[in-house]
Amino acid sequence: MTAYGIFGDVEASPKLVRAALSDLLEAHRRTDPEQDFWLCVGVRDGETKVHDEVLDWAARNEVYFEVITPAATYTPFVEPAKLTISPSFMLDVVETMRQEQDGKILALVGDQTPRTDVLRALVKAKDNGTETRDLAEAGLTLILFKGDDPPPDDPKENTTMPAEEEAEVATLAELGEYADDTSDEETAAQAQGLLTEAAEEAGIDPDDYVLWADLATALEEIRDGSAEATDEPEPEPEPEENPVEIDGELLTRETLVGKDIAEIKALAKAAGVKDYSKMRREPLINALLGIETSEPAAPTTPARKATGTAKTAASSTASNGDSDHGGVGITEADVERIASAVVSKLAATLSTG
């Protein structure tokens, strides 16, 4: 049978206390699986919340536990198998462990000077030859008095706590719980750091999750292979764009985007871009930068019917072979020639008049 007596007045990290008790229970199940594991807890009153954590842990792990308290009004966080009222409750815990074979004491002492009755109980446990460890430091520190021999260096000689290599690693779910519980800032920060590292390795962003527990669940699903992978198409690589020089001006996409369409068309004309007058802004920019595009050119707007002198000039240019029924209509070159002819004719008329 494995029995532990617990008493003391120092608050401790609930996570560390639960972890220490879980390690002790696991070690017991490995070495004495057929034997019982139980706790005798001495509680001064209900002000120290760490005792509630101990009782809750025992209930969750189906561990038998008894409570001894001097306060007749004390209401346990979880109903124990046995509740005893005694003014000398800590000494009673020590005496109970003395009667148990291999009974041990887990005291909540920490780095504070214990109260007189706590110190008296610790001295009594030492006189009984009962091993006593500090639960406020996760049950790892052996409590010694002046003149006591130091603890053995070989961990095999100390069977109370499992060796470090046997310590259980926290699960992702536990890390998520620790990370969300900011009452213990140091533990929360450590858990958050571990989850962030795991998320980076898994290629997911922790900021996409509201709670750290949600991130832990996602990591568990990825680890277990239960998350359905979604194959997102890889984005097509953007074509390389090199600056081009036209009429002494070095042009990039940024500079071209800032120009109006008339300026872009003028640059396209100077660069000798084919069919530039039919293109929209983006194809023009791509053409100037030497980037091939599959976007079709903008449809040509049908030219309005020419009238008067312009109509005569247009007919004349068409008859000269610049355009026929199989052509594309009036081009910018045609318009320039027509305008020039009109201006010349008007000048001649005015000079003779």
**DSSP letters of 40-66?**
EEE-S-SS-THHHHHHHHHHHTT-EEE
**14 and 121 housed in the same domain:** yes
> Is 233 among the domain residues?
no
> Is 93 among the domain residues?
yes
**190 and 59 housed in the same domain:** no
Per-residue model confidence (pLDDT) at position 225: 75
> What are 104-122's pLDDT values in tens digits?
999 988 877 888 889 899 9
Least confident of 32-36, 82-86, 285-289: 285-289
**97 and 134 housed in the same domain:** yes
**49 and 108 housed in the same domain:** yes
Q: Which of 169, 192, 198 is nearest to 179 (CA)?
A: 192
**63 and 144 housed in the same domain:** yes
Of 92-106, 151-165, 270-284, give the range with the top mean pLDDT. 92-106
- 152 pLDDT band, cuts 50/70/90, is low
Provide φ and ψ at 204, rounded to 5°.
Answer: -120, 160
Rg of the chain over Cα atoms, rounded to whole angstroms, equals 44
> Is 234 among the domain residues?
no
In this predicted model, which residue has the larger pLDDT, 327 or 39? 39
> Is 293 among the domain residues?
no
Per-residue model confidence (pLDDT) at position 174: 86
**156 and 183 housed in the same domain:** no
**192 and 135 housed in the same domain:** no
**Cβ neighbours, 10 Å, residue 165:** 6
**93 and 12 housed in the same domain:** yes
**109 and 67 housed in the same domain:** yes
State yes or no: pLDDT of 77 exceeds 70: yes
In CATH, what number is assigned to the domain containing residue 43?
A: 3.40.50
Of 89-103, 136-150, 234-248, give the range with the top mean pLDDT. 89-103
Which of these three, 151, 166, 181, is where a domain ends?
A: 166
**21 and 44 housed in the same domain:** yes
State yes or no: pLDDT of 67 exceeds 90: yes
Query: Dihedral, CA atoms, 97, 45, 69, 81, nearest 10 degrees?
Result: -80
In this predicted model, which residue has the larger pLDDT, 18 or 339? 18
State yes or no: pLDDT of 52 exceeds 50: yes
Contacts of 162 (CB under 8 A, 6+ apart): 23, 26, 27
Q: How many domains does the chain have?
A: 4
Q: What share of the chain is helix, strand, coil (3-state, %, to 5)?
A: 45, 10, 40
**143 and 180 housed in the same domain:** no
State yes or no: pLDDT of 229 exceeds 70: no
State yes or no: pLDDT of 327 exceeds 50: no
Range of the domain at 335: 308-352
**156 and 206 housed in the same domain:** no
- 222 pLDDT band, cuts 50/70/90, is confident
How large a percentage of the chain has pLDDT more than 90? 25
What is 135-201 written as a DSSP string?
GGGTT-EEP--TTPPPPPSSGGG--SS--GGGPPPPPHHHHHHHHH-TTSHHHHHHHHHHHHHHHHH
